[in-house]
Structure 1
Amino acid sequence: MIKSSDEKRNGTGDGTRVNEIAIEARNTIKAFGQGGVAVRALDDVSVEIRKGEFFTLLGPSGCGKTTLLRLIAGFETPTSGQILLHGTDITHLPPNKRPVNTVFQSYALFPHLTVAENVGFALKMQGRPRAEVAQTAREMLELVRLGHLADRRITQMSGGQQQRVALARALAARPQVLLLDEPLSALDLKLRQEMQVELKRLQHETGITFVFVTHDQEEALTMSDRIGVMSAGKIQQIGSPREIYTRPVNRFVASFIGETNFLPATLGPEGARLSGGEVIELATPGPRHGPVTLTVRPEQLRLTPPDEPGALPATVTDWVYLGTDTHVHLQLRDGTALVARLQSNPSGETDLTRGGAMGVRFAPGAVQVVED
Structure 2
Amino acid sequence: MTDQAAVEARNAARHYGSGQSVVKALDDVSLTIRKGEFFTLLGPSGCGKTTLLRLIAGFETPTSGQILLSGQDITDIPPNKRKVNTVFQSYALFPHLSVAANIAFGLEMLGRPKAETAARVEEMLALVRLDQMADRKPAMLSGGQQQRVALARALAPGPEVLLLDEPLSALDLKLRKEMQLELKRLQTETGITFVFVTHDQEEALTMSDRIGVMRAGKLQQVGGPREIYNGPVNRFVADFIGETNFLTGTLEAGRVRLPSGEMLDVPEATGQGEVTLAIRPEQIRIDPEGALEARLTQTVYFGTDTHCHLQLKDGTEIVARLQSPPSGDVGLSIGETLRLSPVPGSVQVLEGD
Q: Contact between 1:154 and 1:162, CA under 8 Å: does it hold in 2?
A: yes
Match of 1:200 among 171, 184, 201: 184
**Aligned ranges for residues 252-291 of structure 1 at < 5 Å?**
252-286=236-270, 288-291=271-274
Offset at residue 52 of structure 1 (A): 0.3
The alignment partner of 1:67 has SS state of helix
2:276 aligned partner: 293
Q: For residue 341 of structure 2, give the secondary structure of its aligned residue in structure 1.
A: strand
Query: 1:57 aligns to what?
Result: 41
Distance 2:317 2:14 in 1: 40
Tell me how far 1:350 sits from its aligned partner: 3.2
Partner of 2:141: 157
- Structure 1 CA distance, aligned partners of 2:348 and 2:106? 51
1:54–1:224 Cα contact (<8 Å) kept: yes
Query: C-alpha offsets along residues 118-165 of structure 1, whole Å, 9 cap, x if unaligned?
Result: 000011122221111111111011100011111111111111000000
Q: Which moved more, 1:157-166 or 1:344-353?
A: 344-353
Aligned counterpart for 1:320 among listed residues 300, 313, 321: 300
Of residues 183, 193, 209 in structure 1, which corresponds to 2:193? Answer: 209
Counterparts of 1:149 and 1:131, CA distance in 2:
20
- Whether 1:330 and 2:313 are equivalent positions in the alignment is no
C-alpha distance in structure 2 between counterparts of 1:348 and 1:325, whole Å: 9
Equivalent-residue separation in structure 1 for 2:130 and 2:184 (angstroms): 17
Please say if 1:346 is aligned against 2:330.
no
Contact 2:263 2:291 in 1 (8 A): no
Distance 1:185 1:368 in 2: 32
Once residues 102 and 335 of structure 2 are traced to their aligned partners in structure 1, the CA distance between those partners, rounded to angstroms, is 61
Question: Offset at 1:283?
Answer: 4.0
What amino acid does structure 1 have at the position aligned with 2:274? P
* SS, match of residue 365 in structure 1: coil
Q: Is the 8 A contact 1:283 1:364 kept in 2?
A: no
Find the aligned partners of 1:186 and 1:270 in 2 and give their Cα distance. 47
Q: Secondary structure at the match of 2:328?
A: coil
Q: Following TM superposition, by how much is the alpha carbon of 1:69 offset from its aligned partner in structure 2, in angstroms? A: 0.1
Tell me the equivalent position of 1:355.
Answer: 335
Structure 2, unpaired ranges of 5+:
none
Deviation of residue 19 (structure 1)? 1.2
Which residue is equivalent to 1:79?
A: 63
Whether 1:187 and 2:171 are equivalent positions in the alignment is yes
Distance 1:183 1:270, change over 3 A: closer
Q: Quick check: 1:245 aligned with 2:229? A: yes
Task: Let me know the Cα RMSD of the aligned residues.
Answer: 1.0
* Contact residue 38 and residue 194 of structure 2 kept, 8 A: yes
Aligned to 2:350: 370
Q: Specify the code of the residue in structure 1 equivalent to 2:278.
A: T
Residue among 19, 23, 41 paired with 1:35: 19
Corresponding residue number in structure 2 for 1:14: none
> Percent identity at matched positions?
68
CA distance in 2 between counterparts of 1:37 and 1:311 reads: 50
Q: TM (normalized to structure 1)?
A: 0.93
Cross-structure match for 1:3: none
* 1:175-226 superposed Cα distances (whole Å, 9 cap, x missing partner): 0000000000000011100000000000000100000000001100000000
Amino acid at match of 2:145: Q
Q: Which amino acid aligns with 2:277?
A: L
Aligned with residue 92 of structure 2, among 88, 108, 116: 108
State the Cα deviation string for residues 269-296 of structure 1 (Å, max 9, x = none): 251111111111114114x411110001
Check the 8 A contact 2:264/2:291 in 1, yes or no: no
Instruction: Name the TM-score, length of structure 2 as normaliser.
Output: 0.98
Amino acid at match of 1:151: D
Counterpart in 2 of 1:4? none
Whether the aligned pair in 2 keeps the contact of 1:283 and 1:367 (CA below 8 Å) is no
Structure 2 CA distance for partners of 1:120 and 1:254, relative to 1, 3 Å: same
Find the counterpart in structure 1 of residue 75 from structure 2. 91
CA deviation map 1:316-337 (0-9, x unaligned): 1111001110000111111111
Poorly superposed stretches of 4+, deviation over 3 Å: none
Offset at residue 35 of structure 1 (A): 2.3
Which position in structure 1 is the counterpart of 2:291? 311
Equivalent residue of 1:113, what SS? coil
What CA distance in whole angstroms lies between the structure 2 residues aligned with 1:170 and 1:121?
10
The 5-angstrom pairing of residues 117-196 of structure 1 reads 117-196=101-180
Report the Cα offset of residue 310 of structure 1. 4.1
